[in-house]
Structure 1
């Protein structure tokens, strides 16, 4: 047992050192004042608790069928507790950490009993569903509220409650009350997970909830909306989502880019690192200028060089200065991209004389034959380039900060990005934009 504990300690120390080592960044700070803007909800899956002696006063007589379930506020801590108990190996956990990018700074080397929340679910003969959450985490259901749900009601209800938990903040174990929501209608696992129908009927989902935040900032005379989601104040140094949206009044384009707080964050022609958040003020530390702003509206388009996957001929975006160019980012694996091809072809047949078309396939090298087959099948008779989607190998999609597929980007005759949108609906917006700016249709 001592040997196993040593391995766990060494694993944690090694990973924490790797995650904690960062270089110092000097430069100006950008401060963004935030206000609450919606709610972020994280779905937690409950596990059946077969040993019902771990809790007291379950009102089993109220229900025709019932079950005891448990959920971990911090699922990673729960798995690490299994390592501490010898139920899982350190090797398994190390692989889990790598594959899921787990921040081990917030994992305690002591078990945290109040990380687990117990829940009773029940069904009566009339079909009503009941949920009792051990909200004060004393493992006694005598003092907890019973929630009932008629699953046939057209108006669904999602009760919100305060739940007592304990957590490790990276230094010590602390107690806290957190907001959670009961979802009695949905489960976090597929139907195939349940061996019997009644087990599925007794399952529910609990949702962790955090406020979303947003605020505007002006950088070099351009306005941006910064949005924060999945920020858990209990784990202040853990990663969360930062979205950057350029505000362009009257534009049909979409200008939203998403990052993790651990990423470098591009805003216009500047690059930043997240440096902290205190009293609803987000701070970003300026790193350096960018030569290009990644295909953002009103910025010069990044250069594109490559070979056409169908003809083998060289392609250079520079050759099309003086003409509109539409870049279509898609992939053979992308259902919405395939669905959008007819709309893309419709625009091509209307504007091919005055707009150059180039599709960039964000795909795997192993799927090149499939790519060529689809291009031929759908009659996509324009330029086609390949961008390797394998980790760290993308060039074109990365330059243009493409995060959703399909994405359409229109470049004007001066080489400036003037329109950007996603999906089939985005292509219809593009068609309206071409009419708005007066691009001539093909002459018969």
Structure 2
């Protein structure tokens, strides 16, 4: 979450909320908003001339988004929640949120945002339970604009002078007597344009869902012996859409454990040689999605190199897929860390990152000799032990 830009050339300028009631005693005041549904916001902003056609089309292209007019309202609705922060008389950062969405901060409580140290492990759930604030906003449901409320959590990372927010709640649905929890975009917003779901009975005792149990959009979920594809949420009808699959599981491709890995091919960065997943059938393959600016990725490189050098190419291979990085930076990394395994760029032509639904780096997939994913996000000793066990079998 960021405050409004002070640039007059900001293409979002006309979409900014006009608020009053910021405490007059504050200094270094900044105002901004948290958007519960950026897609609805952009759609209505275009239809009210708050953003240009060129900007609207650019966003569609960047997001790979085709607006669904059946789920969106041309009439403006309150998708945003305004906030302000500044320093009090002793220089402490204070914040205020327009929880009732009336654009007036004077009837809201001032609070000191909870500080979070990124170097210290913390309990997300405990943090949320103590520090959430209920906020009001609007949604477009059954072709009507309705007011709803949700819990909002805001924390402050003092080291980086950065505020973070999320909405710690999920929706529920059921199919054939099986209860499902549905989250929106990793709890970052409430647009439900990227819905994740999990079978509630599979959630661990500490109310945590195992990573491999979370079903992303266009992934598969198995319910009572049937396989369904998660087609996301129809926001207007307020329903979860699941598509029953005719094909057996062993014919389906997905980035999930237990499913066939998506086939791909590309040119190896240094040699230009063709590399494909199909060409590596018969071996265990680690697909390593990384970027040159990713600290944990770089930290793992020496481990991967040592492990790679001590395994037989006839049994095990690593293919690194590089995203969001400059070629010259990749060259430097290869030289610095003596990387000898294949490197492929994910780009608009092969769209490997998009196909595998990569949301962050590093992300890894371990594929067996039959092309089936058997593990995700193994690194360090866990990866080494797993491969050694498999190769010995």
TM range (shorter): 0.5 to 0.7
Does 1:130 find its partner at 2:94?
yes
Hey, what's the Cα distance between the residues in 2 that align with 1:311 and 1:99?
28
Asked if residue 389 in structure 1 is aligned to residue 346 in structure 2, the reply is yes
Q: Distance in 2 between matches of 1:131 and 1:229?
A: 27
TM-score (norm 2): 0.61
Evaluate the alpha carbon distance shift between residue 168 and residue 307 of structure 1 in structure 2; reply closer, same or farther with a 3 A threshold. closer
Q: Is 2:260–2:371's contact at 8 Å kept on the other side of the alignment?
A: yes
State how 1:355-394 maps to structure 2 within 5 Å.
355-362=315-322, 367=327, 378-380=337-339, 384=342, 386=344, 389-391=346-348, 393-394=350-351
- Using the alignment, how far apart are the partners of 1:306 and 1:72 within structure 2? 39
- Give the superposition deviation at 1:76: 5.5
**Distance in 1, Cα, partners of 2:186 & 2:333:** 44
Matched-pair contact (CA < 8 Å) for 1:294–1:400: yes
Which digits, 9 at most, give the CA deviation of each residue in 1:195-250, with x for residues without a partner? Answer: xxxxx8xxx858451414699999xxxxx9976321799x99952322679x9xxx
Maintained 8 Å contact 1:65/1:122: yes
Q: In the alignment, is the contact (CA less than 8 A) between 2:131 and 2:153 conserved in 1?
A: yes
Corresponding residue pairs, total: 354
1:343 CA displacement: 1.5
Counterpart-to-counterpart distance in 1, 2:19 and 2:221:
52
Describe the SS at the equivalent of 1:343.
Answer: helix
| Alignment partners' CA distance in 2, 1:282 and 1:52 | 32
Match of 2:20 in 1: 55
Does the 8 Å CA contact 1:45/1:206 hold for their aligned counterparts? no
State the distance in 2 between where 1:426 and 1:135 align: 42
1:102 is displaced (CA, Å) by 7.0
Asked whether 1:239 is paired with 2:193, we answer yes
Mapping of residues 162-311 of structure 1, within 5 Å: 162-169=134-141, 171-183=143-155, 185-186=156-157, 205=163, 207=165, 209-212=167-170, 228-230=182-184, 238-242=192-196, 255=212, 259-260=216-217, 264-267=218-221, 272-274=229-231, 284-289=242-247, 291-294=251-254, 297=257, 310=271
The answer as to whether partners of 2:261 and 2:373 remain within 8 angstroms in 1 is no
State the structure with more CA Rg. Answer: 1
- Residue of structure 1 in register with 2:108 after alignment: 144
CA distance in 2, matches of 1:372, 1:137: 50
Aligned equivalent of 1:18: none
Question: For the residues of structure 2 that align with 1:392 and 1:91, how far apart are their CA atoms?
Answer: 24
Deviations 1:311-368 (A, max 9, x none): 95998867874xx53344356746454543322232233332773435354569x95x
Stretches of structure 2 lacking an aligned partner (at least 5 in a row): 7-12, 203-209
Q: What whole-Å deviation, never above 9, does each CA across 1:236-267 have from its counterpart, x for those lacking one? A: 9952322679x9xxxxx97467633xxx3245
Structure whose residues are more often strand by fraction? 1
Residue equivalent to 2:75: 110
1:326 and 2:285 equivalent? Answer: yes
2:364 paired residue number: 407
RMSD of aligned alpha carbons:
5.7
TM-score relative to the length of structure 1: 0.55
Q: Name the counterpart of 1:25.
A: none
CA shift digits 1:39-62 (9 cap, x unpaired): xxxx4756789x999636x553xx
The alpha carbon displacement at 1:98 in A equals 3.9
Deviation at 1:298, TM superposition (A): 5.6
**Which secondary structure state, in structure 1, belongs to the residue aligned with residue 350 of structure 2?**
coil
Q: Contact 1:129–1:151 (CA<8 Å) still a contact in 2?
A: no
Check 1:169–1:370 CA distance in 2 against 1; reply closer, same or farther (3 A cut).
Answer: same
Match of 1:11 in 2: none
Cα 1:428/1:55, change in 2 over 3 Å = same
Q: Which residue of structure 1 aligns with residue 386 of structure 2? A: 433
User: What are the within-5 Å matches in structure 2 for residues 62-101 of structure 1?
Assistant: 63=25, 65=27, 67=29, 69-71=31-33, 73=35, 74-75=37-38, 86=49, 88-100=51-63, 101=65
Distance 1:173 1:334 in 2: 43
The 8 Å contact of residues 276 and 284 in structure 1, kept in 2 or not, is answered as no
SS at match of 2:55: helix
Indicate conservation of the 8 Å contact 1:210/1:230, yes or no: no
Higher relative contact order (CA 8 A, sep 6+): 1
Deviations 1:124-145 (A, max 9, x none): 3323343343433445555433
